[in-house]
Structures are given as C-alpha cells and as structure tokens.
Amino acid sequence: MVQQLTVEEFLEKSRQLPVIDVRSPGEYEHAHIPGAVNIPLFDNEERAQVGIRYKKSGKDAAVMLGLDLIGPKLTSFVKQSRKLNPKAQEVLVHCWRGGMRSGSFAWLLNTAGMTVATLIGGYKAYRNAVLEAFAEPRQLIILGGKTGSGKTDVLKELARQGEQVIDLEGLAHHKGSSYGAIGQAPQPSSEQFENALFAEWRQLDPTRRIWLEDESRNVGTCFIPLPLWEQMRTAPVAFIDVPKEIRIQRLVLEYTGIDHQLLIEATERIRRRLGGKDTQLALNALAEHDYATVADITLSYYDKAYLHGLAQRKAETVQRLDITEDNPAETARQLRAEEYKKVILG
C-alpha cells in the first residue's frame, strides 16, 4: 500500500529516506527539493509529447502515449530506486501535483516489493509551504557593514560560537556586488535558492535568534523571499564599522590572482555609478595589478550606496561596533557580549 504524506510529514521522513523526484529533467533542473534524486518518468521531449497529445486528443490518448513511452523503462525505474536504499527498500516519491506521475511510479515500486510514500499535492504543495514559512516571525539580527568588512567570516565565527546563522550569499553563490559572482559556482534559480534557504530555515530553533548578513533584496540573480526580506528590514542591525584600510587589504587578498578579464567586466558594469573618470582610473590600476587602488576607488561608490541603504532604517534599530583589527573570531565574541546583546535586543 502506498502511503500519502503531508508536506511536513514528507520532509520529516526525508531526513532518513531518499526522495525521488519523477518530474522531467527540465523541471528538476529549474528547482527541486534539496537532496531529491531525479528519476524522470518522462524526459523533456516525452513530457512535451504527452502534453500535446492531451491538448489535441484528451486524457485517455495522453495516458496511452505515456504508457507506450514508459513501458520499456519500468525495470530501470525499479533498479534505480532500489539502489537508493538497498537495505530498507523504502523511498519517498513526488511529482508536480501529486497526481498520475508519482502515483504510477509509486504503484510500480510498491508492486516490486518496495515501501513507498508520496507527497500530497506534490512539489506544488511543497513550494506553498516554502513561501509560507518565511512569513512566520523570527528573532532576526542583521549583521551590517560596508563592503570588505569580512561579514561572511564573522557569520562563520558566530556559528562556531553556537549562534544560529544563515549565509544568504553562500546559498546564492554570490557576494552581492558587481564582483560578487567572481570565483563562485553558477547561481541557482531564485526558486532553488528559496528551497535551499527553506531547508536551513526549518532546521533552526524558532525561540532563538538568527543572524543574517545585511543584503539587498536581490543577491545577484537570486531574490530573498519578500516575507523574509520585510522581516530583515525591520530587524535590529549590528553594524560593524571596519576601517577602509583593513577592508582594502581583505579585498586585495580576495581578488589577487583572479582572471583580469572578469575584473574588467565587473568594473565596467558599474561605470555609470562610478563615473567615467574613476572607472578609467580603476581600469588603469587593474592593468598595473594595483588591486589596492582598484579597491580604494570602488569602495568609494559601494560605501555611499551601503550607507544610503542603512539610513533608510530607523536609527534606533542600528547599533554600531567599531572594529580596529581584522579578527572575525574576536568580532563575533564582541557581538555576543552581554552588554552588546542588551542594546541590540532591547
């Protein structure tokens, strides 16, 4: 018998059991439940063929075409599924709406002696749960600071010291600026970014505070879900004020050895904001491998932009912490100090 599970039940079981996504490769590649394995009932072309047949000739004709297409694959489906959990022979299965694709696949595996559960409402129900979760109030603290302040390293230290942390830039594979994609893996779709964010969000204790870096609504091409973004904009900000000299040193270390063409392209992308004269000065410095000058010039723009955004927040929600040395571990300890927590948390 095939069991049907709610989203919460399905995700809870997925901690121990493999998840099979039977949607087409194109659907899966766009976005999927983190950790799910794609065993598509139909490939992209086959899915299109079935859809066309449904529109032209109706459901029965589409079902018959579907059976013709998947018939030769049945043995492969079972073998692939068994490999995912060879001892327990138990898996979770879902499709887009929790309809025929997952139902048929689950029936096949169940007939072959496996224990199977499907997701009620399918991936669509999961996506609804993802978006609803970010509207739930959480005790957020936003880690602020100008470009080059080492906020990501401070977040990592906060996590090592026992704090709950979400690294938005890490999930988005982007550091937020025009230079943010350099050295990073390709960005996920916004939908997949939300799914990955949700996977971390639901693991956190809702009674404890959560630290996130101060970000624009978009991190590269990924967008922070609006309900979470609205919470972030009203949350208290711990603004670490790091001297420009330290930030320049950090940026020089980060971008030394990077493909110059990528740095040139990133600089050109902010030409309008930087101004023609400063852009040319930065490009000239790049040609000379003078990364410190490039950082100095571009930080003038990024600092103004960041401080403008910070000024849009209520002044009483922003607490400044002056930093005199590049020591993320010590910065994290200061952020966690009792006297500082009282100011931030009220």
* Predicted confidence (pLDDT) per residue in 209-259, tens digit: 999 999 999 999 999 999 999 999 999 999 999 999 999 999 999 888 888
Is the pLDDT at 340 greater than 60, yes or no?
no
**246-264, pLDDT tens digit by residue?**
999 999 998 888 888 999 9
Is the pLDDT at 63 greater than 80, yes or no?
no
Q: What is the largest CA-CA distance in the chain?
A: 72
Q: Compute the average pLDDT of residues 97-106.
A: 93
Alpha-helix runs per DSSP H in the chain: 7-13, 25-30, 44-57, 59-70, 74-84, 100-111, 122-133, 151-160, 168-172, 190-201, 226-234, 244-255, 260-269, 271-274, 276-287, 291-311, 328-336, 338-345
| pLDDT-based confidence at residue 114 (cuts at 50, 70, 90) | very high
Contact (Cβ atoms closer than 8 angstroms) between residue 181 and residue 220 = yes
Residue in the structure block whose two tokens are 């670490």:
240
Return phi, psi of residue 310, to 5°: -65, -35
Is the pLDDT at 67 greater than 80, yes or no?
no
Is the pLDDT at 58 greater than 90, yes or no?
no
Determine if the pTM surpasses 0.75: yes
What is the rounded average pLDDT for all residues in the chain?
Answer: 92
The pLDDT of residue 52:
84
Count, residues in the chain: 346
Paired tokens of 286: 């790049």
Cα dihedral value 312, 313, 314, 320, nearest 10: -120
Paired tokens of 71: 């018939």
The pLDDT of residue 74:
92
Query: Angle, nearest 10°, between helix axes 338-345 and 328-336?
Result: 60
CA 102 to chain centre: 26
**126-156, pLDDT tens digit by residue?**
999 999 999 999 999 999 999 999 999 999 9
Relative to beta strand 218-219, strand 222-223 is antiparallel
Options 19, 50, 95, 274, the catalytic residue: 95
Q: Got the DSSP string for 122-156? A: HHHHHHHHHHHHTTS---EEEEE--TTS-HHHHHH
The pLDDT of residue 343:
53
| pLDDT-based confidence at residue 345 (cuts at 50, 70, 90) | low
Q: CB atoms < 10 A from the CB of 324, how many?
A: 10
Return phi, psi of residue 60, to 5°: -60, -45
The pLDDT of residue 181:
87
Q: Is 95 one of the annotated active-site residues of the chain?
A: yes
